[in-house]
Structure 1
Amino acid sequence: MAVEMALATTMATETQFHVLAVDDCLIDRKLIERLLKTSSYQVTAVDSGSKALEFLGLNGENELRDSKPASVSPDPYHQHIEINMIITDYCMPGMTGYDLLKKIKESKYFKDIPVVIMSSENVPSRINRCLKEGAEEFFLKPVQLSDVNKLRPHLMKGRCKEEEEEEEEDQPNNKRKGMEEIVNSPDRTRTRYNDGLEVV
């Protein structure tokens, strides 16, 4: 029984989604953090768009390099942290939620992370602009538990997309490996491939 419980706990941990919450208002930040944790999400909360970019490793230097950020963590001593979604306030000093959204969608490595915008102001043009730029949802504050319940389908979609991309990256290697096995096999026979390549 203890083994089954430990296994269930391990599986729950593996499938737990990690959300980066961004809001300059402490009260709103604590509220969204509490709602996400109530829904069993792992949460990291920061108070500005620039800190969110820093957490993701997308500050100036890394954007110019063509390499993937080494660690999605503000502390280099901590292990790699995967972020599955970003939920951000729209009105923030310095960098708005819209600006943060654009930065995420322009990033080579984080463009597929679902981004949700929150705002206390119901401005249709603002909502449409964010959705057009790639936001998955636009929530009006105060955010409710019913809003948080809408996040899971976007998280599942994001995870499926990541898995598909990983499979696509692996496919050329598998094809090359298969060809090497045919070429190097001791009992090679004449084989014609679709691209006209022959192995004798």
Structure 2
Amino acid sequence: MPDKRTILLADDDIEDVELLQEVILSKEPEVNVHSVSNGKQVMEYLASCTDESLPGLIILDYNMPELTGSEVLSQMSEQPRYKFIPKLILSTSNAYIHMQECIKNGATEYFVKPNSMRELEELTDKMLGLYA
């Protein structure tokens, strides 16, 4: 079973990572947020985890270097050990084709990055609710 205390956050925008990490930790202070900046690092991190230490939630940006969020989802879908981990896309892209592609590749939900702190806090509540 994945480790509910760990969240994997993958985004190449360091400000977005810091902001989301801050909001997550304000709501769930005991959670460990492990962040990486590209899709290749996501796959390397997951490969290094034992089944018991896999993250309980994965939040991916759509537009990342090396591998997009959708490509990461596609690779993860080929491995049964990732099946039960909620996988969320959090992206600036609201393109319907990106949303459909990610859901098809195994995303639990696709969220568009909000424009205000209040919206980010509300969205974080929704995301955390999917893994609790």
TM-score normalised per structure 2: 0.82
Q: Among 45, 64, 86, which residue is 1:92 paired with?
A: 64
| Aligned length in residues | 123
Amino acid of the residue matched to residue 119 of structure 1? S
Task: Summarize deviations over 1:38-83 as a string: whole Å, max 9, x none.
Answer: 12132101111111111111xxxxxxxxxxxxx518xxxxxx6341
Separation in structure 2 between the aligned mates of residue 18 and residue 150 of structure 1, nearest angstrom: 17
- Identity level (%): 29
Q: CA deviation at 1:109?
A: 1.1
Q: Is the 8 A contact 2:6 2:57 kept in 1?
A: yes
Q: CA deviation at 1:16?
A: 5.4
Separation in structure 2 between the aligned mates of residue 52 and residue 108 of structure 1, nearest angstrom: 16
Q: Is the 8 A contact 1:36 1:42 kept in 2?
A: no
Q: Is the 8 A contact 1:117 1:135 kept in 2?
A: yes
Amino acid of the residue matched to residue 80 of structure 2? K
Separation in structure 1 between the aligned mates of residue 18 and residue 67 of structure 2, nearest angstrom: 20
Q: Superposition pairs for residues 13-162 of structure 1, below 5 Å?
A: 17-40=5-28, 41-57=31-47, 72=49, 81-142=53-114, 144-156=120-132
1:149 aligned counterpart, secondary structure: helix
Cα distance 1:97–1:16, how it changes in 2: closer, same or farther (>3 A)?
closer
Q: Superposition pairs for residues 166-185 of structure 1, below 5 Å?
A: none
Flag the structure with more relative contact order, 1 or 2, with Cα contacts below 8 A and sequence separation at least 6.
2
Larger Rg belongs to: 1
Separation in structure 1 between the aligned mates of residue 90 and residue 22 of structure 2, nearest angstrom: 15
TM-score normalised per structure 1: 0.56
Q: Is the 8 A contact 1:97 1:117 kept in 2?
A: yes
Separation in structure 2 between the aligned mates of residue 23 and residue 88 of structure 1, nearest angstrom: 6
Amino acid of the residue matched to residue 55 of structure 1? Y
1:99 aligned counterpart, secondary structure: helix
Q: CA deviation at 1:150?
A: 1.1
* CA-based RMSD: 2.0
Separation in structure 2 between the aligned mates of residue 82 and residue 32 of structure 1, nearest angstrom: 20
Structure 1 stretches lacking a partner, 5+ long: 1-14, 58-70, 74-79, 157-200
